[in-house]
Amino acid sequence: MRGLTRARPVKSPAKQPTRRSPGTADALRRLRALAPGDESRLQEFFHSHTLDTIYERYGGLVATMTTERAHELVGVDQTRDCALAIFSRDGRTIHAVGRYCLDAAGDTAELAFVVRENQRHQGLGTTLLQQLIGTARNRGLKRLWAQVNTHNAAMLGIFRRHGFTIVPEPGIALVNATLVLPSPASPVRS
């Protein structure tokens, strides 16, 4: 993910219970911004992934998460980029991570998220995506985009349900998923 410019300062997303979905109790998890001090939790989360998840999320290019890389990922400038996680109620375990990073233009961001395997199909990816979209819209971003492996049906389904346009990349097993965001003052179509 790339991000080179500064956006307008905005408060970090507040700690809040995750939204209720079938089989999920709000009291079990908390959504909050990643912060310094979360490095070991982020490393444990990364190392909990199967090889399939690493391939789907990172293109198979990452085999480990060093302390230095974890420090970079939890220490993002939350007024510019956005890095969120859904934690266990006690804050010890990360169940899902989502983030976006601004592109050079400063009004478009690359988006990515991943959910721990044993926590999937409980609405955590949807919760992260909705929070990231809302934060991006409130900050005045015009567009969110992601590259997704064509075999990642779950991720493509979430993006389609949220109005992303899906366009295949010629000659490779990736698609671009793009969402044009209405300005904060514009009415949202349902």
Residue range 30-75, pLDDT digits in tens: 999 999 999 999 999 888 887 877 777 766 667 788 899 899 999 9
Percent of the chain predicted with pLDDT > 70: 80
Q: What is the crossing angle of helices 124-138 and 153-161, to 10°?
A: 50
Asked if the model's pLDDT at residue 101 lies above 90, the reply is yes
| pLDDT, tens digit, 9 for 90 and up, residues 135-182 | 999 999 999 999 998 888 889 999 999 999 999 988 888 899 999 998
Top CATH class of 16-140 equals: alpha beta
To 5 degrees, how large is the angle CA 150–CA 113–CA 10? 135
Computed over every residue of the chain, the mean pLDDT equals: 82
The better pLDDT of the pair 85, 61 is held by 85
Q: Give me the pLDDT at residue 20, please.
A: 44
Q: Give me the pLDDT at residue 32, please.
A: 93
* Whether pTM exceeds 0.85: no
